[in-house]
Amino acid sequence: MGKFENIDTMLHQALQAIEQANDSAAIENARITILGKSGSFTQLGKILGTLPIEQKKDFGAELNIAKKQIEDKLGAKKEILAEQELNTKLAKETLDVTLPIRDEHQGRIHPVSKIYEEVVAIFGQMGFDIAEGPDIEDQFHNFNALNMPANHPARQMQDTFYIKNPDSDNFDDSYVIRTHTSGIQIRTMEKQQPPIRIIAPGRTYRSDWDATHTPMFHQVEGLVIDKNITMAHLKGCLYDFMKAFFELDDLPVRYRPSYFPFTEPSAEMDIGCLKTKTELKIGAGTDWLEVLGCGMVHPNVLRAGGINPDEYQGFAFGLGIDRLAMLKYGIPDLRTFFESDTRWLKHYGFTPLDFSSMTGGLSNTGGQAR
Amino acid sequence: MKFTLSWLKEHLDTDASIDEISETLTKIGLEVEEVINPAAQLNGFITAVVETYERHPDSDHLGLLTVNTGKEKLQVVCGAPNCHQGLKGIFAPVGTLIPCYNEVLKVGKIRGVESFGMMCSEKELGVGTDHTGIIELPADTEIGVPAAQVLPIDPVIEISITPNRAECLGVRGVARDLAAAGLGKLKPLNIRKISGTYTSPIKVEIKASEACNTYVGRYIKGVNNKAQTPKWMQDRLTAIGLRSISPLVDVTNYINYDMARPLHVFDADKLKGNICVRMANEGEKFTSLEEKEYTLDSQSLGICDDEGIQCLGGIMGGLEKGCSPETTNVFVECAHFTPENIARTGRKFQIDSDSRYRYERWVDPKSNILGSDYATQMIVDICGGEVSEMVMAGSEDFEPKTAYIRPSRIKDLIGLDVSAEKIIEILTHLGFTCSQENGKIKAVSPTWRGDIEGEHDLVEEVVRMIGLDNIPAVSLPHDKLPKVTLSAKQHNAMIVKHELANRGMLETVTWSFMDENLADMFRAQPDHLTLINPIATDLNEMRPSIVPNLLIGVKNNVARGENNVALFEVGPQFYGRKPTEQTQAAAGVRYGLTNSKHWAHNERPVDIYDVKADALAAIAAANGPVDSAQITTDAPGYYHPGRSGALRLGKNVLAYFGELHPSVSKKFGLKQRAYAFEVFLDNIPLPRNTQGKARKKLELSPLQAVDKDLAFVVDKKVKAIDVITAAKTADRATITDVRLFDIYEGDNLPEDKKSLAITVTYQPIEKSFTDKELEVLMQKVIVAVENKCGGQLRQ
């Protein structure tokens, strides 16, 4: 207790008043009542002048201490009240965070484009360029230059679509829609001497329609020509590709002798898999799946492309983009690729933010169409 | 190509199992497609004897049996009419899977009596077609042994034959390949040399040696075509999917598949005069045994008698002079036709036959006499008859193909060392005659091989016998950092796809062809680009535009109840029938709502500004000049004339966009307005190679830019872009941006006027604008809009 009873009393009253104030208006009121122009402590200050000199110093000091106490109390109380009021306000502002977001739209990349990008990423790493050619081809590039002269039975292996000659009613087979992208081999050799290392992706067309054949599908042709390229390189290159493409450390492969007019020796490549009633798993297993045709480029094809077969040699291969998509991403029916069913496109499509690369990853599984 | 195991063993002496055989076939290039082995489904079936047989107490036609399986005696109810006491047959215990029904046998209760198994018919086991009764085995059959051990089971193997391996279209060719691969020994052919007893009353003459160089014929009189084809031959033909018809037909079919040797048999009594092999006359008629009439041309080869063409040489027999059950005198043809002529005629008239298939690949040109002897022997053995002397036109002289192979070439091409001795051994097994000449091996082809042209062909023969699996795998050498794989154009196409997908559209891939009638609306030039042989009538023209295919996609989605669709495709469009007369486009179609009903925003239908944005975004993604492109209102007729535009660089059209013409939407069955854009990727200028990638230096002002809003009243027909451009160019030094933020028509404005409100952004250069300077700058915009667009500042 101080020496001045009136200070003590008034301090006590003031602190009590502050304590009892329960909103910012009340606390302001209390402040004015205590420290305002005619507030209790302002009044008390006025007493100071009337006191005898020997009391003045003590009274003043005590008064200041009391005032400081009041101000602290005021500050503390204000903070408490401000926080209470903020909490009340926040409580009133609550929103339902479970409400769905506004419409946003992100589409999908078609599996054919995705596989194209993956194939480009892998072969790009091996130093291949991408070559292109026309969908409508002449007989020379689609057949003759590929060692398939007229009446060659292999021409019937591929049910060819022919383009009508508007100036003639007779059957005119000068132009076809390409049955393979192999014609791009010739177009490349016509423009470029070896070393050649290209892949040629594109649409191809054959008259066939069931769960694994459609009249249009997508192929990647590959061609490597140099002085010392052997069938061992063919095996190495395709094995490297398949392992990278299926993102597996180990993948059993086998080669079967086969026949293509434009390669010799020719082979077909199978990869290992495990077939069960419900799924197909690529990798070690009991079954084999045919994935591509390949072989050493036939000397006649090199000649047709203007390359000396005594000096250069190499290999070629052709693989189906759609088929790779079916195998890698488990798509059961080829026909569905071309039906534009939005449910299918959303389900089997890929996020547009994913660009395939050997450094950043070939494919991710994240994201959903919005 | 199908054959049975027993058929193969007719030519191949081997102990190899069916699995070994099929594995080897695939390894040497005769890919096995299917092996049907009935033994595989006979698990559980055993031999058993019917020990007692009595009538079922409650049935006239059912029997009640005690069956002894060697292990146990079981009560069985059986309805087979041939069932009797002492019968030995095949028994299926409870729990056996019955192939014919694909069901597991359970304990049965037939008219109150339990049955613990079943005595089986051939059909129930899947080993035959007989279902008239149960199988009855010889009386000395041991009981309790697996059914597969006692039943005559002949697995069927189906292989695919590549066009270069014509000799394997006969079982003997397959056997020879297997023998060469070390899977047994090729058995010698057992064909009797037949000498005739009289001169054939029918003579033969070749008048078209360019298409037929050998014709061997034989007359057989007094044959009985009603005789039974032997069961073994019937079984083999049935097993490979051919119907047994009559001995004469069966023999020709059998030899076709046994030796890859086509034959034809005429009913000699129906032939008038001699056989003449000649080219058809232009317009000459021929009716095939399939009762189809053909009008031939002068390149078609006919086998003719005095009454005309009776057989389309090497392709198909005629209707009139073929054999019937009543046939008694026959003339057997065994001839050689050139592959080119067969292929041409077969393709021209679209006739497929086993004979054509073989001739157009390769038929051994030295197999005519052999084939004739083989057929004659079989016919006489089955049908009897008296054989004439052989008649022959042309000769069997044939120069087999010769090629050379250097052992070093195998190493160079394959990366594998193979010795000369090994090469010779392999080729000899395959029928080649080999000799060594100056370090090379000379290989003369056997006459059944027509595909060996040069060294690479011989390499292939060696490699396929050595096995591709023995070639090492060596990664491609690469000694430097590969350069960027995609060209600028290829990269652009990829980025455009990702941009459009990121804008909410689904990428699709549609056919390059479409319906000619729908294409009419989208074709820029009148030329149709139709297919001669489309796969479907509504896929008969190369598409002049991607848009119609996308509209079909929209229509199909709407039909499934998906009413809001945004599809795009990047692909080719065609404008001419020559290669390169195609362009690459990125096209999209939007339909329905872009924003659907939602608590936070209103639903909004798609409008032309959505597809305009798509087109601009695609151009921008392809590094196209979005800012300098002009917008014109001359999109093609399939767009709404008042709601479409073109983005162009002078004459060069970068894109079209807009609402589709209502008559187009209607044609596709779309009830609402549809919107489309087409970006012509080939028309977007590519950066010049000399251009570096460095960007213009960024000049940043420390001074704050000032926005001023101005509204102008202009004629309704004034284009917004003209007002914006006028404002933008009013003071190029300071005006950095002009944005249109309001359009108003209606009250307070004359009927033919509208108000356009813009925000102009002024960027001070050295020091902030004074009020006066700003006033001057704003005045410049007001004057420019007034002069160029007749706009009045709205007060």
- B-chain residues within 8 Å CB-CB of A215? 511, 513, 535, 539
User: Residue B548 and residue B567: Cα distance in Å, rounded?
Assistant: 12
Q: Which residue has the higher pLDDT, B40 or A319?
A: A319
Q: Calculate what percentage of chain A has a pLDDT beyond 70.
A: 96
pTM, entire model? 0.85
Cis peptide before A265 (omega within 30 of 0): yes
Average pLDDT, chain B: 92
Answer yes or no: CATH 3.30.56.10 is held by domain B402-470. Answer: yes
Q: Is A163–B509 a contact, with Cβ atoms under 8 angstroms apart?
A: no
* Residue B533 forms contact with A (CB below 8 Å): yes
Show the DSSP H helices in B191-296 as ranges. Answer: 231-239, 247-259
Q: Which pLDDT score, from 0 to 100, does residue B154 have? A: 87
Instruction: Report domain extents, chain B.
Output: 2-37+155-186, 40-150, 204-394, 402-470, 488-683, 706-793
Q: Please write the tens of the pLDDT for every residue from B200-227.
A: 999 999 999 999 999 999 999 999 999 9
* Residue A127 forms contact with B (CB below 8 Å): yes
Average pLDDT (A201-223) is 93
Q: Is B503–A107 a contact, with Cβ atoms under 8 angstroms apart?
A: yes
User: Residue A295 and residue A302: Cα distance in Å, rounded?
Assistant: 13
Q: Which amino acid would we find at residue B371?
A: G
Residue ranges of chain B with per-residue pLDDT less than 50: none
Secondary structure (3-state) at B123? helix
User: How far lies A296's CA from each of A309, A323, B407, in Å?
Assistant: 11, 23, 17
Q: Report the candidate in B620, B545, B619 with the shortest Cα–Cα distance to residue B584.
A: B545
Cα dihedral B580, B581, B583, B588 in deg (nearest 10): -140
- B-chain residues within 8 Å CB-CB of A201? none
Give A368→chain B minimum CA distance, Å.
12
Q: Is A141–B579 a contact, with Cβ atoms under 8 angstroms apart?
A: yes
Average pLDDT (A267-280) is 87
Q: Is A230–B340 a contact, with Cβ atoms under 8 angstroms apart?
A: no
Secondary structure (3-state) at B444? strand
Instruction: Report domain extents, chain A.
Output: 5-93, 111-348
Q: Which pLDDT score, from 0 to 100, does residue A365 have? A: 65
User: How far lies A176's CA from each of A136, A203, B392, in Å?
Assistant: 6, 13, 43
Which of A150-159, A289-298, B116-125 is the least confident region? A150-159
Scanning B4-63 for CB atoms below 8 A from A yields 26-29, 31
Give A289→chain B minimum CA distance, Å.
12
Which of A6-15, A255-264, A302-311, B730-739 is the least confident region? A6-15
- CB A293 within 8 Å of CB A204: no
Q: Please write the tens of the pLDDT for every residue from B132-158.
A: 788 888 888 898 888 888 887 889 999
- CB B266 within 8 Å of CB B376: no
Q: Please tell me which residue of chain B has the smallest CA distance to A258.
A: B29
* Residue A329 forms contact with B (CB below 8 Å): no
Q: Is A259–B163 a contact, with Cβ atoms under 8 angstroms apart?
A: yes
Cis peptide before A195 (omega within 30 of 0): yes
Scanning B441-480 for CB atoms below 8 A from A yields 454, 456-457, 459-460, 463-464, 468-469, 471-478, 480
What does CATH list as the number for B488-683? 3.30.930.10
Scanning A10-49 for CB atoms below 8 A from B yields none
| Nearest by CB: A108 against B413, B490, B507 | B507
Output phi, psi for A146, to 5 deg.
-95, 25
Q: Is B582–A126 a contact, with Cβ atoms under 8 angstroms apart?
A: no
* Residue A97 forms contact with B (CB below 8 Å): no
Q: Report the candidate in A301, A147, A224, A296 with the shortest Cα–Cα distance to residue B413.
A: A296
User: With DSSP H G I counted as helix, E B as strand and the rest as coil, what are the percentages for chain B, rounded to 5?
Assistant: 25, 30, 45
Secondary structure (3-state) at A194? coil
Q: Is A123–B600 a contact, with Cβ atoms under 8 angstroms apart?
A: no
Q: Which pLDDT score, from 0 to 100, does residue A156 have? A: 65
Q: Please write the tens of the pLDDT for every residue from A331-359.
A: 988 999 999 999 999 999 999 998 998 88
- A-chain residues within 8 Å CB-CB of B478? 126-127
Q: Report the candidate in A328, A327, A329, A300 with the shortest Cα–Cα distance to residue A313.
A: A300
User: For the residues of B307-333, what is the DSSP string, one character each?
Assistant: TEEEEETTTEEBSTTS--TT---EEEE
What does CATH list as the number for B40-150? 2.40.50.140
User: Residue A215 and residue A213: Cα distance in Å, rounded?
Assistant: 7
Q: Which pLDDT score, from 0 to 100, does residue A46 have? A: 82
Q: Which pLDDT score, from 0 to 100, does residue A369 have? A: 66
Q: Which pLDDT score, from 0 to 100, does residue A368 have? A: 67
Q: Is A125–B550 a contact, with Cβ atoms under 8 angstroms apart?
A: no
CA angle B683, B687, B690 (to 5 degrees): 145
> What letter does residue B198 receive in the DSSP assignment?
S
Q: Please state whether beta strands A263-275 and A253-260 pair in parallel, antiparallel, or not at all (unpaired).
A: antiparallel
Average pLDDT (A207-215) is 88
Same fold, B2-37+155-186 and B402-470: yes
Which superfamily is assigned to B706-793 in CATH?
A: Ferrodoxin-fold anticodon-binding domain (3.30.70.380)
Q: Which pLDDT score, from 0 to 100, does residue A154 have? A: 66
> Bridge partners of B93?
none
Q: Which pLDDT score, from 0 to 100, does residue A145 have? A: 94
A-B Cβ pairs (cutoff 8 Å, strict): 290
Q: Which pLDDT score, from 0 to 100, does residue B618 have? A: 97
Domain B2-37+155-186 has what CATH class? Answer: alpha beta
Rg of the Cα atoms in chain A = 43
The CATH architecture assigned to B204-394 reads 3-Layer(bba) Sandwich (3.50)
Q: Please tell me which residue of chain B has the smallest CA distance to A209.
A: B535
Q: Please state whether beta strands B506-507 and B565-574 pair in parallel, antiparallel, or not at all (unpaired).
A: parallel
Number of H helices, E strands in chain B: 20, 44
Cα dihedral B761, B762, B768, B769 in deg (nearest 10): -110
Q: Is B473–A239 a contact, with Cβ atoms under 8 angstroms apart?
A: yes
User: Residue B764 and residue B748: Cα distance in Å, rounded?
Assistant: 36
Q: Report the candidate in B343, B389, B344 with the shortest Cα–Cα distance to residue B362.
A: B343
Average pLDDT (A2-15) is 81
Q: Is B556–A102 a contact, with Cβ atoms under 8 angstroms apart?
A: no
Q: Calculate what percentage of chain B has a pLDDT beyond 90.
A: 74
Beta-carbon contacts of B185 under 8 Å, excluding residues fewer than 6 positions away, are B12, B13, B14, B179
| Nearest by CB: B485 against A129, A298, A341 | A129
> Bridge partners of B436?
B441
User: Residue B509 and residue B546: Cα distance in Å, rounded?
Assistant: 10
Scanning B412-441 for CB atoms below 8 A from A yields 412-416
User: For the residues of B710-749, what is the DSSP string, one character each?
Assistant: EEEEEETTS-HHHHHHHHHTS-TTTEEEEEEEEEE-STTS
What does CATH list as the number for A111-348? 3.30.930.10
SS (H, E, C) A33-61: HHHCCCCHHHHHHHHHHHCCHHHHHHHHH
